Amino acid sequence: MQQIFNFIFKNSSRLLFLLLLLVSLVLTIQSHSFHKSKVISSANFLSGGVYERINRISEYLNLQTQNEILAIENARLKSLLFNIKDSTLVPKIDSINGVDKVNIIVSKVIHNSYNVYENYITINSGEKEGVKSDMGVINSAGIIGIVDRTSQNYATIVSILNRKSQINAKIKKTNHFGSLIWDGKSTGFVQLIDVPRLAAIRKGDTIVTGGQSVIFPENINIGTIDKIFIDNQTNYYTLNVKLFNDMTNLGHVYIIKSKNREEIINLEKETKNE
């Protein structure tokens, strides 16, 4: 017994090092694995609060461009509103059943990272406002990412500039589907993989979100085709997509709350179980 205590006491710093190294390596591996939210995230009162204070100051430097973006979006929405066929009708986002399918929560980016392979964005709305994980996040120019973790007042978003992100997308013109991923090379470009070779595509075609995911509504802008690569082994295209969004400069964002999401997920789960 005495010897055990002596050993522990003598090697206390080494043992402490190994223990803590193990803890941090577990956290690291966990953060790199797919489909696993992290234990340590910036959606907490400490880092969220600090980032919100920092953002309150840096926001002023960015005010003019953000105003311009909002003004452009207002103009676009106004033009939609004025050109609607019957101006007495309030425009519905999806009017098949006369009921709209999505709610929108407005929020603000308080921290944005884009210089590593796994980038996350922190926003200043959380569970209080009804934000839950796996909700889609967009802004006026296009998609931004998917909500990862939430706290009372903050939430983190898996940016589309994250190797773990994989989003269903399609070519607007031909309706061919693919998966949107990021290779980690440039903040202005993402990749659309697994597009069938049958698709007639050209440089400059628009890529939008597909209807297969329950996270994003269909036809939200993503970007345009910049380069087309052909994979010889499989019969698929890999496309380099130039984003509409400048992911290095984000201000206000919209969180999409799909009303039918849980119903769809439950239904699919039941079908699978049978």
Partner 1 sequence: MNSAFIINFARFFLLLFAQIIIFNNIDLFGYVNPYPYILFIILYPVNGNKPMLILLSFLLGITMDLFSNSGGVHAASCLILAYSRPYIFKFSFGLSYEYQTVRINDVLTPERFSFLLLAVTVHHFSLFILEVFQLTSLWDILLRTIVGTLFTLLICIVIIYIFKPSRR
Could you list the residues that contact partner 1 (CB under 8 A)?
12-14, 16-17, 20-21, 23-32, 38, 40-42, 44, 46-47, 50-51, 54, 113-118, 120, 122, 156, 184, 187, 248
Q: Are the C-beta atoms of residues 191 and 241 closer than 8 Å to each other?
A: yes
- Give whichever of 190 and 195 is closer to partner 1, judged by the CB atom: 190
Chain position carrying tokens 């013109």: 173
- Minimum gap (Å) between residue 109 Cβ and partner 1: 13
CB of 156 to partner 1, least distance (A): 6
Nearest distance from C-beta of residue 260 to partner 1, angstroms: 30
Closer Cβ to partner 1, 25 or 104, answer by number:
25
**CB of 124 vs partner 1, minimal distance in Å:** 15
In whole angstroms, how close is the CB of 213 to partner 1 at the nearest point? 23
Phi-psi region of 194 (alpha: psi -120 to 50; beta: other; left: phi over 0): left
Beta bridge partners of 241: 190, 225
Q: How far is the CB of 111 from partner 1 (least distance, A)?
A: 8
**What's CA 215's distance to the chain center, in Å?**
10
Q: Which is nearer to partner 1, 36 or 197 (CB)?
A: 36
Q: Which is nearer to partner 1, 169 or 253 (CB)?
A: 253
CB 199 within 8 A of CB 207: no
Smallest Cα–Cα separation from 48: which of 134, 145, 122?
A: 122
**Closest alpha carbon to 101 in 211, 253, 222:** 211
- Our measurement of the distance from residue 119's CA atom to the centroid of its chain's CA atoms, rounded to an integer in Å, reads 10
Angle at 48 between CA 221 and CA 117, to 5 degrees: 50
Between helix 2-10 and helix 12-32 the angle, nearest 10°, is 70
In degrees, to the nearest 5, what angle opens at C-alpha 147 toward C-alphas 145 and 151? 150
